[in-house]
Structure 1
Amino acid sequence: MDSLYVVMPAYNEEANIESVVTSWYKLLEGKSKESRLVVADSGSTDRTHEILQKLQEKYPQLEILEDSLKQHGPKLLALYGYAIKKGADYIFQTDSDGQTNPKEFDFFWDNREAYDAVIGNRTAREDGKDRAFVEDVVCLLLSMYFGVKVPDANAPFRLMKSSLVAKYIDRFDEDYNIPNIMFTTFFAFYGEKTLFKEISFKPRQGGENSIDLVKITKIGIKACSDFRKFKRQMKKSK
């Protein structure tokens, strides 16, 4: 049986973490006994960590990754690296804010052998027009810089073969802010077999978003510089 690592970063998610873990943990049923749900929680100043530790008493396949950096992107890289190290066959990433629906996972799992990666496409977003606009800008920039066309570069709902993630993860510094965007770009640029599947995307279910538009703008400015660097590297390797 294939092993699945469901991974999610968390930061001050005490309002959501119990319901999110409970709903996503069910996906491990029917998978290899080596499958895990792993939450990266470092830096939280609320009860997120305490709640996670309590949940471990109920969910034996729940693991907490405590030694990652604080920011979302570095946590993703730490989670991916951890799943690869542990020998996962497949990695599924989502977030811990309750915006994604576990019921939409089955299609992704059923198509795992046909594609190297199945990535969500948030065609209808309920988290605000400003964030949808940011995603549109990101996709436009990827087209301009790398010549790739993707409908959703940063969706936190993606099933990937662990071997595919391992193929590209060493291209990132451990503190890189937007790895999912670049993973999507690599998959498109190098012709990896990728499917984009429409998913729903709810408003944040509780708590406050740690990344506001000001931070997004700063990340975007830095991203343009990073894109130029990646573009030079990718031209040499293609």
Structure 2
Amino acid sequence: MSLYFSIVMPAYNEEECIEQVVTMWTSFLNNTFPGKETKLIVVNDGSKDRTKVLLDAIAPKIDNLLVVHQPNGGHGNAVVNGYKKAAELNSEWVFQTDSDDQFVTEDVIKLWEKRNDSNFVMGYRQIRYDAPARLVITRILKYTIFFAYGTFINDANIPFRLIKGSFLKKLLAQLPNPEPFAPNIFLAVMAKKAGQNTFDIPITHKERLTGTVSILRWKLLKVCIQSFKELLRFRLDLNGKVKLIKAA
């Protein structure tokens, strides 16, 4: 099986909006790519609410929906497993977003228009509706990446990115082992260092109206320190991995 376009979407405890979000994104695929093979790949990351039940109920009714259930491994792990599934299905293009209904489908076209100019195109949240602590950490992360790698990326961990399927396979092969907490950051850094223009296109970010943020306060600080340490360690391996990506 080969797909023209797939969307990777991790989900955790999103019972209040998951049906609406799935309908919105599968309709986007049908309307934007009529006649093409497309798929929304939702990775349920061990949700403790009714997310699993709701996904299983709607999956048989939506042809271009693929639901994958896994034990809770965290957002990053769910994203990577979604990417691997998209690669397994030979997706020509892979888009990644979240299931919390904070993005709009129309903005995908802004990235899609750049697909012939780059294998890795990203949005960035010009106006971001998140807790102040998250905003501060995002800014620190941006400058950490710049000083550590000499690479400036506006929103390195944004769940709004379009990747050429063949290029994604190369990136996944070079992800650090063990898997980092925030793999999307590492994918963005490797893509940029491999010569891709990420464009960093401003997109709409909406206020979260349902569910709860899973990482807050001290836990947020803890995982950010972990991510910073992983990024600093990755400096030693980056040049070699970029060479392999280019060679592949």
Q: Is 2:138 the counterpart of 1:104?
A: no
**Identity across matched positions, percent:** 31
In structure 2, the residue matched to 1:207 is 211
In structure 1, the residue matched to 2:20 is 19
May I ask how many residue pairs the two structures share in their alignment? 238
Please list the CA deviations of residues 12-44 of structure 1 after superposition, one character each: whole Å capped at 9, or x if unmatched.
Answer: 110110111111112222255431001000311
Aligned AA for 1:131? Answer: R
- What is the CA–CA distance in structure 1 between the aligned matches of 2:119 and 2:127, rounded to whole Å? 25
Q: What SS does the corresponding residue of 1:218 show, helix, strand or coil?
A: helix
- What is the CA–CA distance in structure 1 between the aligned matches of 2:45 and 2:14, rounded to whole Å? 11
1:45, distance to aligned residue in structure 2 (A): 1.0
1:225, distance to aligned residue in structure 2 (A): 2.2
1:93, distance to aligned residue in structure 2 (A): 0.4
Aligned AA for 2:38? Answer: S
Once the two structures are overlaid, the 10-residue window that deviates more, 101-110 or 89-98, is 101-110
TM-score computed with the length of structure 1 as normaliser: 0.93
1:197, distance to aligned residue in structure 2 (A): 0.6
- What is the CA–CA distance in structure 1 between the aligned matches of 2:219 and 2:79, rounded to whole Å? 18
Q: Is 2:118 the counterpart of 1:119?
A: no
- What is the CA–CA distance in structure 2 between the aligned matches of 1:87 and 1:31, rounded to whole Å? 19
- CA distance 1:97–1:174, shift in 2 (3 Å): farther
Once the two structures are overlaid, the 10-residue window that deviates more, 64-73 or 82-91, is 64-73
1:133, distance to aligned residue in structure 2 (A): 1.4
- CA distance 1:174–1:109, shift in 2 (3 Å): farther
Aligned AA for 2:114? Answer: N
Please list the CA deviations of residues 59-96 of structure 1 after superposition, one character each: whole Å capped at 9, or x if unmatched.
Answer: 11101111364300000110001100110001100000
TM-score computed with the length of structure 2 as normaliser: 0.89
In structure 2, the residue matched to 1:60 is 63
- What is the CA–CA distance in structure 2 between the aligned matches of 1:53 and 1:84, rounded to whole Å? 23
Maintained 8 Å contact 2:94/2:165 = yes
Which of 190, 193, 205 is 1:189 aligned to? 193
Once the two structures are overlaid, the 10-residue window that deviates more, 14-23 or 182-191, is 182-191
Please list the CA deviations of residues 100-147 of structure 1 after superposition, one character each: whole Å capped at 9, or x if unmatched.
Answer: 111211222232222212211111112233222111111011011111
Which of 160, 163, 167 is 1:160 aligned to? 163
In structure 2, the residue matched to 1:5 is 6
Once the two structures are overlaid, the 10-residue window that deviates more, 49-58 or 65-74, is 65-74
Runs of 4 or more consecutive aligned structure 1 residues displaced over 4 Å after TM superposition: none
- What is the CA–CA distance in structure 1 between the aligned matches of 2:224 and 2:143, rounded to whole Å? 13
- What is the CA–CA distance in structure 2 between the aligned matches of 1:32 and 1:178, rounded to whole Å? 35
Aligned AA for 1:97? Answer: D
Maintained 8 Å contact 1:68/1:74 = no
- What is the CA–CA distance in structure 2 between the aligned matches of 1:109 and 1:32, rounded to whole Å? 18
| Residues 10-89 of structure 1: pairs in structure 2 closer than 5 A | 10-29=11-30, 30-31=33-34, 33-67=36-70, 69-89=72-92
In structure 2, the residue matched to 1:222 is 226
Maintained 8 Å contact 2:180/2:227 = no
Q: What SS does the corresponding residue of 1:37 show, helix, strand or coil?
A: strand
1:214, distance to aligned residue in structure 2 (A): 2.0
| Runs of 5+ unmatched residues, structure 2 | 244-248
Once the two structures are overlaid, the 10-residue window that deviates more, 121-130 or 93-102, is 121-130
Q: Is 2:140 the counterpart of 1:137?
A: yes
Maintained 8 Å contact 2:171/2:191 = no
Please list the CA deviations of residues 211-238 of structure 1 after superposition, one character each: whole Å capped at 9, or x if unmatched.
Answer: 1132221112112221232110113455
- What is the CA–CA distance in structure 1 between the aligned matches of 2:154 and 2:228, rounded to whole Å? 19
| Runs of 5+ unmatched residues, structure 1 | none
